[in-house]
């Protein structure tokens, strides 16, 4: 397993520039490492956590449960992501956090973070920036789930996951891990399982992807992006990635 502070530094470096003093301060943050099995809840909706979660390994997701019992997944997070920097200045969780695969996470106390941000504003700005990129991803999800038919919607979703994995070095040349089953996929895109299945088959039939056992292979990146109207600008990376 990679060292916690390492994961964090590397991730922030993708988006922000920190001097060596700031980096040292970051490295001195103390994290408690915990693991969760696939499917487990990490933070429950309605709770009031005093710690923040950093993903070290695996994939975690935010979701909400509706009165009908249906779940709606909101976003997915991989190593280096900080899914509840979102909750730093917020009292009560308006959603839950769960493990999509077996995961390792680092926990750091909110008050320790707040002290660090007061002492080193640039670090606070870097983390703030992370939360703003998160928000940009939410906005894009609103657009994708509200305004695209199912097949482009799935295409866009896959493009985003792959591109983000690539950006932090977690993707192979043309493949990455997306450990969702088709039921969860439906609850992500706001469609039924059957429609999720048919959308996935449609992309496979057109030879744009292969997707088995939680591993996505992209067969035609160019066309997949075009079909999904995917344009990575909203991810606000410092530079375009090479995608084969």
Partner DNA sequence: CGGAATGTTGATATGCCTCAACTAAAGTGG
Partner DNA sequence: CCACTTTAGTTGAGGCATATCAACATTCCG
SS3 191: coil
Q: Which of 26, 53, 62, 177 binds its own copies (CB under 8 A)?
A: 62
- Give the x-and-dash track for 109-148 against its own copies (CB under 8 A): -----x--xx--x--xx--xx-xxxxxx-xxxxxx-xxxx
| Cα 224 → chain centroid | 20
Contact predicate 77/83, CB 8 Å = yes
The yes or no reply on residue 67 touching its own copies (CB under 8 A) is yes
169 binds, among DNA, its own copies, none (CB under 5 to 8 A by kind): none
- Separation CA 35–CA 210 (nearest Å): 30
Q: Which does 129 bind (CB under 5 to 8 A by kind): its own copies, DNA, none?
A: its own copies
Contact 76, 19 (CB under 8 A): no
Which of positions 207-226 make contact with DNA (CB under 7 A)?
Answer: 213
User: Contact 56/79 with Cβ under 8 angstroms?
Assistant: yes
* Contact flag: residue 195 with DNA (CB under 7 A): yes
- 182 makes contact with its own copies (CB under 8 A): no
Helical (H) or strand (E) element with 34: strand 32-36
Q: Does residue 48 interact with its own copies by CB under 8 A?
A: no
CA 183 – CA 210 distance, rounded (Å): 18
Site for its own copies in 4-43 (CB under 8 A): none
CA–CA separation, 227 and 234 (whole Å): 17
Q: 104 contacts which partner out of its own copies, DNA, none, CB within 5 to 8 A by kind?
A: none
- Range list of β-strands (E), 44-173: 51-57, 60-65, 71-77, 96-99, 103-109
Distance CA 1, CA 51 (A): 21
Q: Which of 35, 197, 220, 243 binds DNA (CB under 7 A)?
A: 197
Give the binding site for its own copies (CB under 8 A).
Answer: 46, 62, 64, 66-67, 70, 72, 74-75, 86-92, 94-95, 114, 117-118, 121, 124-125, 128-129, 131-136, 138-143, 145-148, 189-190, 229, 233-234, 236
Residue ranges in contact with DNA by CB under 7 A: 149-151, 181-183, 190-195, 197-198, 200-201, 213
């Amino acid at each position: 397993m990679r060292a916690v502070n390492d994961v964090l530094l590397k991730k922030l470096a993708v988006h922000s520039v920190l001097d060596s003093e700031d980096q040292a301060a970051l490295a001195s943050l103390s994290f408690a490492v915990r693991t969760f099995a696939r499917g487990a809840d990490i933070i429950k909706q309605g709770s009031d956590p005093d710690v923040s979660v950093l993903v070290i390994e695996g994939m975690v997701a935010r979701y909400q449960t509706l009165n009908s019992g249906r779940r709606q997944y909101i976003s997915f997070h991989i190593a280096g992501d900080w899914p509840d920097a979102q909750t730093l200045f917020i009292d009560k969780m308006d959603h839950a956090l769960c493990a999509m695969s077996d995961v390792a996470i680092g926990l750091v106390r909110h008050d320790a973070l707040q002290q660090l941000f007061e002492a080193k504003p640039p670090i606070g700005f870097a983390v703030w920036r992370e939360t703003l990129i998160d928000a940009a991803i939410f906005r894009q999800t609103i657009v994708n789930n509200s305004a695209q038919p199912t097949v482009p919607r799935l295409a866009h979703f896959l493009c985003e996951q792959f591109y983000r994995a690539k950006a932090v070095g977690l993707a192979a040349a043309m493949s990455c891990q997306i450990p969702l089953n088709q039921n969860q996929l439906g609850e992500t895109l706001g469609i039924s399982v059957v429609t999720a299945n048919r959308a996935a088959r449609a992309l496979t039939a057109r030879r744009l992807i292969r997707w088995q056992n939680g591993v996505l292979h992209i067969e035609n990146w160019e066309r997949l992006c075009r079909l999904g109207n995917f344009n990575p600008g909203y991810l606000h990376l410092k530079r375009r990635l090479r995608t084969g």
